[in-house]
Structure 1
Amino acid sequence: MDERDAALDAAHQAARDFLATLPDRPVWPRASVEEMTTALGGPLPQTGRPAPDVIRDLAARADPGLVAIPGGRFFGFVIGGTLPAALAADWLVSTWDQNSGSSAMTTATVALERIAGEWLLEILDLPRGASVGFVTGAQVSNFVCLSVARHALLRRRGWDFTLRGLTGAPPVRLVVGRDRHGSIDRAARFLGLGEADVVVIDSDDDGRMRPDALARTLQDLPDAATIVCLQAGEVHTGAFDPFAELIPIAKSHGAWVHVDGAFGLWAAASPRLHALTWGVDAADSWTTDAHKTLNVPYDCGMAIVRDPADSIAMFRAGGDYLMYTGLDPWDVTPELSRRARGVPVWAALASLGREGVEALVDRLHRNARRLERGLRAIPGVTVVCAPDFTQVMFRLDDDDATQELGRAILQEGTAALTGAHWRGRAVLRCSMSSWVTTDDDIDLTLAAIARLTSPAAV
């Protein structure tokens, strides 16, 4: 007990020390993975050490390789920070050590996750009573939802997938937008669907699926069990598919509609931005990820399915030793044993309340607009599209110069933003996802970009 208390004290102090460095530390890591492997590795020690010493040594050695993701100037990929209540709740989750697949055994954490799921449906204005499965992230959520979709569509065609598997099953087709996230294709591979099973629909200049193209394609396709994947928030532009037009088209052809809304579904929480998600509630399943817009720690995606019976039919666990109760968390996700990853979601929502979630979403959007305005004032910078939500994308006139700026700003250390390609051109992406980001953080980032693109720097 004394060693455990001392180890927790050491971890608490190391956490406080790390958080205190965020305003001034370089945002990108200062050491490569090879350097960190050397610093942290070596032969397994013959004898052990006291736990507090291990923790203090771990914190000291790992520090050069840590990214300042919890700070206010990490704009890479789509990664939020961690709200105070969510961080503290996550510590409790590890301390409690509850296996939260079973509602018969871990009653407190399962109840917290159920409540968090109900609050989530309310905040996102999705069908009440839908199943909410807490998974690792958006990738697994997309896999879960597409797995449920395939099972349900085959059952409608008289094929018992649970009994007969896929051999000889009716064909399943996946219809996607040209600018879908790569996790959709990866989930398709997990399901055994190849490129020949995927139909790509054209999108507009900002990445929104075109309703006319979907209607024309579905009309011309041969009969098959069809899943149409839409998205709330294109990862580069932040654009939202026009759900109110697309979903009725898909439904008229008997398709299951899945919406990948890893970060964008949270626009529904804001009256000012809710129009971006109009019509999305008519879909059959939805993906979102709380570590993005909601700002909880990693390992917290949500797979949402309109009819819980569809989730249960795909994932229901069996075995009397599991203390099966009739409806358990493991009935709607692939995992049996897992941590109570939904508890930080409960804590985040409880600490913010409806008004706080609305304010957080609005603030992230305002941050994106402030960054956009500042970028437009820097000579040589072109903003590729105005931010609908939280994504800002820009480039320089020359692709090589754009990529060099991306490398330079990571090395310079003021902020982190990541590169990509859009419509054949090199671009830099900034995702405004952190609750910590202030106007000063944005202004410091703009100053760094202006400095690195000035003629003197070149």
Structure 2
Amino acid sequence: MSCFPSQEVAQGILEKAARLATKGRYGEQALDPHPVPPASQDSFDVPLPRNGRDPGEVIEALDRAARPGLSGMTQPGFMSWVIGGSHPVGVAADWMAAAWGQNACVYDASPAAAEAEAAGAKYLLDVLDLPRDSSVGFATGATMAAFTSLAAARLCVLERAGHDFERKGLCGCPEVAIYIADDAHVTNYSVLRYLGFGSNQMRRIPTRTDGTYDCDALERAMEKDTAPARIVLAQAGHIMSGAFDDFGRLAALCKRHDAWLHVDGAFGLWVRASRRLRHIAEGAELADSWSVDGHKWLQIPYDCGFAVIRHEEYHRRAMTMQAGYLPDGERRRNNSDYVPELSRRARGFAVWAVMHCLGRKGIEDMVESHCHAAHLLAQAIKRLDGVEVVNQQCLNQLAVAFECQSGDGAEAVAEALNASGRYFVRTASWRGRKLLRFSITNGDTGPDDIAPLVDQIIAAWQAVSLAAA
């Protein structure tokens, strides 16, 4: 007896799910960018029935349980974190991938999944203008992309230092010096711990006011260090300021000290898609590896990230799994050779579809539109009394201080914007100040959306200032 419904019932379930899902995005009941926590927290915590429920009823119950706690992450007013809007073509391709039920592990299991990722990898290297012979792994996001990249880096630098990591692991290995900016994204510190590195191996380098390396301090640290194996982590798009490291100087330092250079480009690396703006990330192509997200600026549905590595040999050696039932030594692409997962969803279908839908020019126009929108917002609000745009706006990120006597101006403005039902923004602490962050990343957001946002900010700030007077 099959546990699956009939083909006719299954078709109805999928159509109902599509109606309910799109109602929250395109219909009259669009999700509030800022979710209000439901009055009851037990919408999901109900007894598991002994006998199964009607499939259509289950889907409706799921919608009722989830909807009060869903964020409108796909809405143009969502600017709290760097999150893309999930392009409808990507959503459709992802639904197809789920319906096809492909395990994207090896070529023999799903040639289509392998070919889609191979094509997507070529598009990615072309759009980001990275070395075309680099290898690409499709990971869950930039965190696991960094893990993959730095696993390859660990293997490489230890081998250069004369240590057989594949046989001995970290046991008795030479010291590895990890140079990382003191203001680097927290996920990089986590990834290093996952890879077996502790605080003794991490050389935390002071940063400038924009969160990027003090390259003079880095150079001094590398000159006096005696560790035989070295890795340098750089940033393309600081999470608060949007700033970029000096990749040309970092690459020269790494070459001098035989170090591996990795670039955390979770969202900022996409600026290389723009011919007008790519100078901001000039020199990033000189690195040994890059981690970048697809579910941020490329608007791929969650989850999607890319580990891009110049040295395919180390990439494959760090990731390849071997077993008697898996293909060995074949020339065709096995996706599991490039990421830590064996069983996983076929991420390449959504990537292929969205990149074809946008085209090279569409990606370029989107990046430039978001950066222009952030510039317009910065120019408008920096004129307000008591308001300071803390970062030198060069990308799609703004960090804004609202100074008032009560001391909580940023939090009060954020609450007012979120209460409007049109926006979702969040505050963050950076360099001893409470700041309001704006991340303009949604594919539906552009320069035309800035004027009404400015009006809301002005009204909120005036109310806060009056209350504090």
Q: TM-score range by the shorter chain?
A: over 0.9
The answer to whether 1:403 aligns with 2:411 is: yes
* Counterpart Cα distance in 2 of 1:73 and 1:441: 9
Name the SS for the 1:246 alignment partner: helix
Query: Please, what TM-score do these two structures have when normalized by structure 1?
Result: 0.96
Given that 1:260 and 1:287 are in contact with CA atoms closer than 8 Å, whether structure 2 keeps it comes out as: yes
Among 108, 112, 118, the residue aligned to 1:108 = 112
Among 420, 429, 434, the residue aligned to 2:428 = 420
Name the SS for the 1:364 alignment partner: helix
Shift of 1:159: 1.3
Among 306, 314, 318, the residue aligned to 1:314 = 318
Given that 2:262 and 2:290 are in contact with CA atoms closer than 8 Å, whether structure 1 keeps it comes out as: yes
Shift of 1:192: 1.5
Structure-2 change in CA distance of 1:76 and 1:21 (3 Å): farther
* Counterpart Cα distance in 2 of 1:422 and 1:38: 35
Shift of 1:447: 2.2
The answer to whether 1:369 aligns with 2:364 is: no
Name the SS for the 1:196 alignment partner: coil
**Residue number in structure 2 paired with 1:169:** 173
Among 456, 459, 462, the residue aligned to 1:451 = 459
* Counterpart Cα distance in 2 of 1:272 and 1:23: 39
The within-5 A match list for 1:127-142 is 127-142=131-146
Shift of 1:25: 4.5
Amino acid at match of 1:44: L
**Residue number in structure 1 paired with 2:4:** none
Structure-2 change in CA distance of 1:2 and 1:457 (3 Å): farther
Given that 1:36 and 1:65 are in contact with CA atoms closer than 8 Å, whether structure 2 keeps it comes out as: no
**Residue number in structure 1 paired with 2:196:** 192
* Counterpart Cα distance in 1 of 2:286 and 2:160: 19
* Counterpart Cα distance in 2 of 1:49 and 1:302: 40
* Counterpart Cα distance in 2 of 1:36 and 1:359: 43
Amino acid at match of 1:175: Y
The answer to whether 1:385 aligns with 2:409 is: no
* Counterpart Cα distance in 2 of 1:192 and 1:411: 44
Can you give the 5+ residue segments of structure 2 that lack an aligned partner in the other structure? 1-6
Shift of 1:404: 3.0
Amino acid at match of 1:359: D
Superposed CA RMSD: 1.7
**Residue number in structure 2 paired with 1:19:** 25
Shift of 1:36: 5.9
**Residue number in structure 2 paired with 1:344:** 350
Shift of 1:390: 0.8
Amino acid at match of 1:427: L
Given that 1:3 and 1:50 are in contact with CA atoms closer than 8 Å, whether structure 2 keeps it comes out as: no
Name the SS for the 1:56 alignment partner: helix
* Counterpart Cα distance in 1 of 2:246 and 2:28: 39
Among 306, 311, 332, the residue aligned to 2:338 = 332
The within-5 A match list for 1:28-427 is 28-32=34-38, 35=39, 37-324=41-328, 326=330, 327-398=333-404, 399-427=407-435
Given that 2:161 and 2:228 are in contact with CA atoms closer than 8 Å, whether structure 1 keeps it comes out as: no
Structure-2 change in CA distance of 1:36 and 1:176 (3 Å): farther
Shift of 1:378: 3.3
Name the SS for the 1:323 alignment partner: coil
Given that 1:251 and 1:257 are in contact with CA atoms closer than 8 Å, whether structure 2 keeps it comes out as: no
Shift of 1:360: 1.1
Name the SS for the 2:300 alignment partner: coil
Identity of aligned residues (%): 36
Give the stretch that moved more between structures: 109-118 or 42-51. Answer: 42-51
Shift of 1:315: 1.2
Given that 1:451 and 1:457 are in contact with CA atoms closer than 8 Å, whether structure 2 keeps it comes out as: no
Count how many residue pairs are aligned between Structure 1 and Structure 2: 456
* Counterpart Cα distance in 2 of 1:124 and 1:407: 37
Can you give the 5+ residue segments of structure 1 that lack an aligned partner in the other structure? none
Amino acid at match of 1:47: N
Shift of 1:328: 1.4
Name the SS for the 2:42 alignment partner: helix
**Residue number in structure 1 paired with 2:445:** 437
